[in-house]
Amino acid sequence: MFDNVVVGVDDREIGRDVLALARQLAACDAEFTLVYVNVVHGKPAPDSASKRDASIERFARERLGMLRDQVGMAAHVSSVEAPSPRHGLHAFATSHEADLLVIGATRHDDISRLLIGDDTREVLEDPPCAVAVAPIGYAAHAADIDEIGVAYDSSPGSDEALAVARHLADRYHATLSVFEAVTPPVYARDIYDVEGQIEDEVTEARERSAALGDVESQAVAADHTVEALRRYEPTVDLLVIGPHKYTPIDRLLEHTISQRLADNAPRPLLVLSSAARSSRRAAK
């Protein structure tokens, strides 16, 4: 399914994690490229360009090449300069027409994220293609993908996630399940019977997912969607999340479901791209 895979590599241990996941998700004859983003701020002096370029290329040939050889993967290595990992990886994936970008999960706590930012969350913002997030330490305990889960809410995006998950489930001969978290309504039909309304919505969600046919379905009442998905995530080997078009408020709060699930993710995430969906529509 994924034929052209870009793997974002920085720290060597994280590199092993992302390579392990990339191999699992990629097609048998996929082309891999390991990419290191050299973060630069401002425009460097003209006389420093050649030394900088030579140093970056040497890093790509030696460190990325060493990592590639250690795991026994046939892959290209490359490096780019950009103001952030997000800009560099997005631009590289776009220019090379990648259909999957693989990165490592967030390692920062809330304070560190506030002070130094969060590269994983940023890469998940409007990516040009699907993004897979490898859990910390995944290379050491990677297992077969026997159970695939989908964050589902009957939206077009979750239907697309289900279609991708079905394709992967066929490939891995995996069990497929969908999960829907029903949160308290913004506007209650009856303020004296909010719980009754939630129960009705849970029943409707279960009926919708049951109508999907060849999937196991779960629908639960939850105060927060992310927390409910965090409880569901460890029960599957891969969680697929539909595309989300980011808004200014998303960028301000960094609170989208995929971004928050990437924080210390216990299982691999596969987040689809709204940009890729738009490109497919334009091509029709």
Three-state SS for 83?
A: coil
Q: Is the dihedral of CA 30, 31, 32, 35 positive or negative?
A: negative
> Would you say residue 234 lies in a domain?
no
> Would you say residue 215 lies in a domain?
no
Give the pLDDT confidence of 150-160 residue by residue, as tens digits: 999 888 999 99
CATH of the domain at 16: 3.40.50.620
pTM of the model: 0.84
Domain region containing 117: 1-142
> Would you say residue 241 lies in a domain?
no
> Would you say residue 246 lies in a domain?
no
pLDDT at 96 over 90: yes
> Would you say residue 13 lies in a domain?
yes
Of the chain, the percentage scoring pLDDT greater than 90 comes to: 38
The number of domains in the chain is: 1
Give the pLDDT confidence of 24-82 residue by residue, as tens digits: 999 989 999 999 888 887 655 555 555 556 666 676 667 778 788 777 888 888 888 88
> Would you say residue 189 lies in a domain?
no
> Would you say residue 8 lies in a domain?
yes
What residues contact residue 269 under an 8 Å CB cut-off, 6+ apart? 105, 132, 133, 238, 239, 240, 241, 258, 261, 262
